[in-house]
Amino acid sequence: MMNGERKVFPLELADVCFASGGQRIIENVSLAIDGGVRTVILGANGAGKSVLMRLMHGLLTPTSGEIRWCGRSERAAAQAMVFQRPIMLRTTVIGNVAYGLKLAGVGKEERLARAAAALDRVGLAHIAKRPARVLSGGEQQRVALARAWALEPLVLFLDEPTASIDPGGAQKVERIIGKIAAGGCKIVMTTHNLGQARRLADEIIFLHRGRVAEYSPASVFFAGPRSPEAVSFMKGELP
Amino acid sequence: MSPLRRTLLAGIAALSLATAPALAEDKFIVVSSTTSTEQSGLFGYLLPIFEKKTGIKVRVVALGTGQALDMARRGDADVVFVHDKAAEEKFVAEGFGVERKEVMYNDFVLIGPKADPARIAGGKDILEGLKKIEAAKAPFVSRGDKSGTHAAELRYWKAAGIDLDQAKGPWYRDTGSGMGPALNTAASMNAYILADRGTWLSFKNRGELAIAVEGDQRLFNQYGVMLVNPAKHPHVKKDLGQQFIDWVLSAEGQQAIAGYKIDGQQLFFPNAKR
Amino acid sequence: MNTLIDSFYAAVGLIAAGESRLAGIVLLSLRVSLSAVGIAALFGLPLGALLAVGRFPGRQVLLVVIDGFMGLPSVVVGLLVYLLLSRAGPLGPLGILFTPAAMIVAQTILITPLIAALARQIVADAWAEYHEQLRSLGAGPWRASLTLLWDTRFSLFTALLAGFGRAAAEVGAVMIVGGNIDGVTRVMTTTIALETSKGDLPLALALGLVLIALIMAVNIAAHLTRHWAIRRYG
């Protein structure tokens, strides 16, 4: 059920910098990210992971440098993002899931059907009519995932998706991420949780103070990181 | 639609229906008049009689005489009904009014505290009364609002030979307000004040005030009525307005005016010329 | 103190008698102020939302102006609307001076800045919470405004009630543009002013108590709504 033959990859960042309030947060980041693999951006708190993700997704504009999707400079369509704290509108669960489809111009009957299907995939079909804001954090995050999934994105960005959730809920979320990836959607995720990175990553971008310190396949990275900052991080010496 | 929303909409619909009078189809005129005629209750008594006879509703906007005339100059009224002969004649001379007709008169009374610091109670001479008040520097409340009553007050001071600009002091309180509020102020300050008998009789918050001077011929207060000139303001309802004026001047209207009483006392005396 | 006690009994008596003139005055007051709130909401809510969400040249100036106009003296608004609607003025031919329509116009002008400023605050707070997710999903400023207006509907309802309170309690504007005409443009506040000036203080106070009760009821409705909404929707 993928959206046609549109090519959006590789996602290239060319010498991207981002500064805000006089502070340099991202410095000279150059990357080329391909589709298909699950990319995890790892790093200590304050390394700039969230900002880097927002630059990729288009929520922030680089102060200098370029971001290109398959050579084109306009923002790719069919992206979605899930945030650390799930944002729920004051409406029902299914209303929240259908909202993204409504923005995309999908007709009422079709969007309710797709929303219901997405809720079913995340295991929340039984509470479709409940007000979304009274749910637990874990349930809300699953609703957010359903909302993103219903859009059939080519790329899904996730910013510390389980940082605010209990372990049981976190497990469910990770399983859903796996299912989404299995459906052919590219996953780009940030985390500072090593265990989660080990479980989910195919490749690691290690960020330290706004710079890419290392970019390698997960197996290579976890066997033995090359950069000293990554080594310290793995030993638990960085926050 | 949630039940809450439904109830709200129903409520608003009901409210609109309940309060929308059939305004569009009524015949009506706007009469600018004074607070004294409104607050004495004369119009409340008189207008239903006229309306029953002709089906014309009369909407009275009650301001001071000066304001009433200004409002008519702007074209916001069809008929003017006030009590300041000089100002009315000027209004006609300027071309804003068609013709001035005398309707009725009442009289002014000089009100004062029962304690009577100026020693004028029971007097029959308004000019003497004012002279004594000025001499004693007793508190006096003026309307100060270009009303017919205010204009009369200023005439009396002048006739008494008192130059207000010189004589004014803390004893003379210029409130810039209508008859009712000025009486309220006088009651709470225990001050003297010139009022029309009609408003005084229907005024309920008298405190320690009572009539000090009355009966002087000079206290006679003439009311006039004028149609606003359609030549200046073409939208003026001249036929309906003229009907009102004709009725008020007719035997029936004049009798109705005489028929208005408070506690058995007649307030206004019809004197239209035949 | 006696006047207060007299008034209380007078008020109860008036209400119990269900006096038709009193009913007419109360209904007219409600009609004028509710209509004003309705129209002010139509203009003020979208304006507030756009100010919260949009970024355009002159936005800061508009913000300051609207916040400033929240406290417009009602008598000044009345005077300005009178000059507009007078036969001698630009909108004279409409012929609505000294009718309830003029009163609705004046009160609408009076409370639109208030509603816009409150809506701006409410929507801005929600925007701060939602903006990344909404932009991620592809909502532009217009779409986001509509979504936020619906999402904050309960807080906005409270803002509307605040506007109603301000409109129902004012006397300066409706007195000037309405003319306080018996049976046509006489509302609660202008009746209170009139009865006070006639020295009939117990009656004026009685009407005042009815007006206060009305506004209190509106405020209680606001509180209950917020409570219910938070419990139901979180």
What integer is the mean pLDDT of B108-114?
Answer: 94
Is residue C170 within 8 Å of residue C81, measured between CB atoms?
A: no
- pLDDT surpasses 70 at B97: yes
User: Which residue among C136, C152, C154 sits closest to A81, beta carbon to beta carbon?
Assistant: C136
Q: Binning pLDDT at 50, 70 and 90, where does residue A4 land? A: very low
- What count of Cα atoms within 13 Å lies in the side-chain half-sphere of residue B124? 2
Q: Distance between terminal CA atoms of chain B?
A: 69
How far away is chain C from the Cα of A134, in angstroms, using its nearest Cα? Answer: 6
Please judge whether C130 and A87 are an interchain contact, meaning their C-beta atoms are less than 8 angstroms apart.
Answer: yes
Q: What are A33's strand-pairing partners?
A: A11
- Assign B23 a pLDDT band (cuts: 50, 70, 90): very low
Q: Is B131 within 8 Å of B49 (Cβ atoms)?
A: no
Whether pLDDT at A5 is above 60? no
Residue B110 bridge partners (DSSP): B194, B213
Tell me the two tokens of residue A166. 């209990």
Whether residue B21 is predicted with pLDDT greater than 60 in this model: the reply is no
Nearest CA in chain A to C142: A103
**Closest partner residue to C136 among A57, A89, A104, by Cβ?**
A57
A chain contacts of residue C225, beta-carbon cutoff 8 Å:
none
The interface residues of chain B toward chain C in range 167-206, judged by CB-CB distance below 8 A, are 177-181, 183-184, 187, 202-206
The answer to whether chain B touches chain A by having 3 or more C-beta pairs less than 8 angstroms apart is: no
Report, in angstroms and rounded to the nearest whole number, the Rg of chain A calculated over CA atoms.
18
Lookup result for tokens 């030549």: B231
The residue of chain B with its CA nearest to that of C184 is B59
Model pLDDT, residue A12: 93
What pLDDT score was predicted for residue A193?
86
CB contact under 8 A, C199 and B203: yes
pLDDT tens by residue, A200-215: 999 999 999 999 999 9
Task: Give dist(CA A169, CA C45) in Å, integer.
Answer: 39
pLDDT, tens only, A56-77: 999 999 999 999 999 888 888 8
Chain A touched by C139 (CB under 8 Å)? yes
Statement: residue A128 has pLDDT above 50: yes
How high is the pLDDT of residue B40? 84
Is C201 near chain B, with CB under 8 Å?
yes
C201 vs B contacts (CB less than 8 Å):
204-205
Q: Is B28 left (phi over 0), alpha (psi -120 to 50) or beta?
A: beta
CA distance C167 to chain A (A): 30
Burial B204-239 (b: 16+ CB within 10 A, else e): ebeeebeebbbebeebebebbbbbbbbeebeebbbe
Q: What is the pLDDT of residues B155-182, one digit of tens each?
A: 999 999 999 888 888 999 999 888 888 9
> Residues of B with CB below 8 A from C184's CB?
23, 59
ipTM surpassing 0.85, yes or no?
A: yes
**Neighboring chain C residues of B195 at a CB cutoff of 8 Å:** none
**Distance between CA atoms of B124 and C193, rounded to whole angstroms?**
34
Nearest CA in chain B to C228: B4
pTM of the model: 0.84
* Chain C residue with Cα closest to A93: C233
Asked whether C and A share 3 or more beta-carbon pairs under 8 angstroms, the answer is yes
Which residue in A136, C93, A68, A209 sits closest to B234, CA to CA?
C93
Rounded to whole angstroms, the Cα distance separating B251 from B267 reads 18
Mean pLDDT of B14-36: 70
Count how many residues are written for chain A.
239
| Residues of C with Cβ-Cβ distance to B204 under 8 angstroms | 198-201
Does A134 lie at the interface with C, CB-CB under 8 angstroms? yes
Chunked mean pLDDT (size 10), chain C, 234 residues: 74 75 88 96 94 91 93 94 94 92 97 96 95 93 92 92 93 95 92 85 82 89 87 80
Is the predicted pLDDT of residue B19 greater than 70, yes or no? no
- Output B76 or A3, whichever has higher pLDDT: B76
Provide the pLDDT for residue A1.
42
- For the cut 80, the answer to whether the pLDDT of residue A35 exceeds it is yes
Are B15 and C88 within 8 A, CB to CB?
Answer: no
Q: Among the listed ranges A110-114, B47-51, B201-205, C159-163, which one has the minimum average pLDDT value?
A: B201-205
Q: Does A133 touch chain C (CB under 8 A)?
A: yes
Question: Which pLDDT value is given to residue B14?
Answer: 58
Of A54, A91, A103, the CB nearest to C137: A103
Cβ of residue C37 closer than 8 Å to a chain B Cβ:
no
B19 touches chain C (CB under 8 A): yes
Distance CA B186, CA B109 (A): 14
Contact status of C55 with chain A (Cβ, < 8 Å) = no
* Interface chains of chain B (3 or more CB pairs under 8 Å): C
Residues in C closer than 8 angstroms to B76, CB to CB, are 86-88, 97-98
| Beta-carbon separation of C132 and A59 below 8 A | yes
Averaged pLDDT for residues B267-271: 91
- Name which residue leads in pLDDT, B274 or A118: A118
Strand bridging mode B101-113 / B209-213? antiparallel
The full DSSP string for A1-49 is: ---TT-----EEEEEEEEEETTEEEEEEEEEEE-SSSEEEEEE-TTSSH
Q: Which residue of C has its CA nearest to B207?
A: C199
- Between A193 and C167, the more confident residue is C167
A interface mutation test: which of C132, C147, C225, C232 has the most A CBs within 10 A?
A: C132
Query: Do chains B and C touch, with touching meaning 3 or more CB–CB pairs less than 8 Å apart?
Result: yes
Phi–psi pair at B112, nearest 5 degrees: -155, 170
Q: What is the spatial distance between Cα B70 and Cα B84, in angstroms, rounded to a whole number?
A: 13
- Please tell me the predicted confidence (pLDDT) of residue B10: 64
Give me the percent of chain A exceeding a pLDDT of 70: 96
The whole-chain average pLDDT of chain B stands at 89
